[in-house]
Amino acid sequence: MRDHSDLQSMNERSLAQQAAVRKATFSPSERKTLRPFSIWEISQFMFQVPADTLRKKLVDDPSLPQGAVEEDGRQRWFSLAEINELRRRLRFRGRSLLPKRPSGRAVRVAVSNFKGGVGKTVVAHHLANAAALDGYRVLVVDFDPQATLTHSMGLIEVKEWNTVWGIMCRDLCREADRIVASYDDPSDCPYPSSDELPDDVQSIGAQRVQDFIQKTAWATIDIIPSCANAAFVEFASAQYRALHKAWSFFGCMSRYLDELPDDQYDIIIFDCPPAIGYQSLNAAFAADILYVPSGPGYWEYDSTTSYLGQLGDALDDISTGFSSIAEDAGIHLPKQFDDIRLLMTRFEASNPLHIAMLDAFQNVFGSDVCKNAIEMTRAVEQSGRFQQSVYEQDYRQMTRETWKRARQSFDAAYGEFKETVLRAWEQREVKHVG
């Protein structure tokens, strides 16, 4: 017979060898870098102008970034920083290249579904890349201890206190002290203050808001990463809730993001784990928009249906069971989203079953279904060690048609995503001003 001690000793053996295994299989010294982008891509997919028009602008003004010409090549290649400088300085027929940015804080989008493997991480990664190439400043938050997005973004060594778990601990310390301070006589407070909480929680309480944010290979995409050790966040959160019964555990992430300066980011994207728990509830509570990817199989439809029901029930339970705690913390219940969108992924237009499933989704959910499904593409499957996005892959490494088709599919999905984000942003701006 075997019990928990076997699992613990297996874990210890594995941890002792982890560095060696990683070295042999993962080459951690390799750093992820972002490739440059060719004038063909920039003119066709980003600025939407003829390549010759862009070339002429560059010749006319030598003070503009000029990119670099590869040996034996003729194309010019530009870094993302150079592309962003061109965006700021160029206009075409009076049209600015800067993306629309209403005032107020960044819009927050949770990519979420408790069905595993539907493409949440691929969608979150590609939307973040597409938004950055469109000129937006993006923060991604990895809520999933599988940490696929974190690894895809090139981060390998992440400590658990730098993850969403750390943000929840810090929030508990701050909320505990706020609640004590709200009593005329603090000694009347039946709940603990931060210095009565466990040491590991207290030690995170002093972290500053920016300490949780890390850089990626993309100058305009930052990340709050995850790591496998953060898996115990579900378990730990249940313990902390028992320690402090007045803690609005579902509002940690929302409070944290409210502390960021409004202008630091434009779009914040959450990659959620395939589960409904403390982390995904925090993601839902912090989100303005829910983006629910689903694959084209019947079981995915089935699972997406139960996800919608279970998330609905969980939010309903919070509204009824936690109303006074939420009110005290300044959280308005019920939680309201600006929008909820369903997005079909891994779609094959030549597969009759996929077409039937997309039809079924549209019949059932109507205009809540995104018009542009994301196609199944080899470009995603063969994306290499860092799980490069289609945007990160150099199109010369595959047939240009394969790459272009894949890119156009993600671009179309991004176009719709951007419309959804801008609609939510503008509505909020009107409310703010009104």
Ligand X SMILES: Nc1ncnc2c1ncn2[C@@H]1O[C@H](COP(=O)(O)OP(=O)(O)OP(=O)(O)O)[C@@H](O)[C@H]1O
Among 204, 223, 370, 376, binds ligand X (CB under 6 A): 376
Closest CA to 75 of 40, 48, 111, 49: 40
Judged by beta carbon, residue 112 or residue 237, the one nearer ligand X is: 112
Residues 34-63 that bind Mg ion (CB under 5 A): none
- The reply on whether position 121 binds Mg ion by CB under 5 A is yes
Among 38, 84, 254, 345, binds ligand X (CB under 6 A): 345
Judged by beta carbon, residue 39 or residue 374, the one nearer ligand X is: 374
Among 134, 144, 288, 411, binds ligand X (CB under 6 A): 144
Number of residues in contact with ligand X, rule: CB under 6 A?
Answer: 18
Residue 56, both tokens: 């002429």
- The reply on whether position 117 binds ligand X by CB under 6 A is yes
- The reply on whether position 125 binds Mg ion by CB under 5 A is no
- Read out DSSP for 365-395? HGGGB-SSPPBP-HHHHT-TTTT--TTTS-G
Within 10 A of 305 (CB to CB), how many other CB atoms are there? 14
Within 10 A of 79 (CB to CB), how many other CB atoms are there? 16
Q: Which stretch binds ligand X (CB under 6 A): 80-88, 117-125, 172-180, 351-359?
A: 117-125
In terms of Cβ atoms closer than 10 Å to its own Cβ (0-12, 13-18, 19+), residue 17 is exposed
Residues 253-282 that bind ligand X (CB under 6 A): 274
In terms of Cβ atoms closer than 10 Å to its own Cβ (0-12, 13-18, 19+), residue 7 is exposed
Is residue 416 within 8 Å of 342, Cβ to Cβ?
Answer: no
Binding mask 146-185 for Mg ion (x = CB under 5 A): --x-------------------------------------
- The reply on whether position 407 binds ligand X by CB under 6 A is no
Nearby residues of 421 by Cβ (< 8 Å), 6 or more positions away: 107, 109, 267, 289
Judged by beta carbon, residue 148 or residue 279, the one nearer Mg ion is: 148
Polymer length in residues for the chain: 434
Q: Which residues bind ligand X (CB under 6 A)?
A: 116-122, 144, 146, 148, 274, 345-346, 374, 376-377, 380-381
Q: Which residues bind Mg ion (CB under 5 A)?
A: 120-121, 148
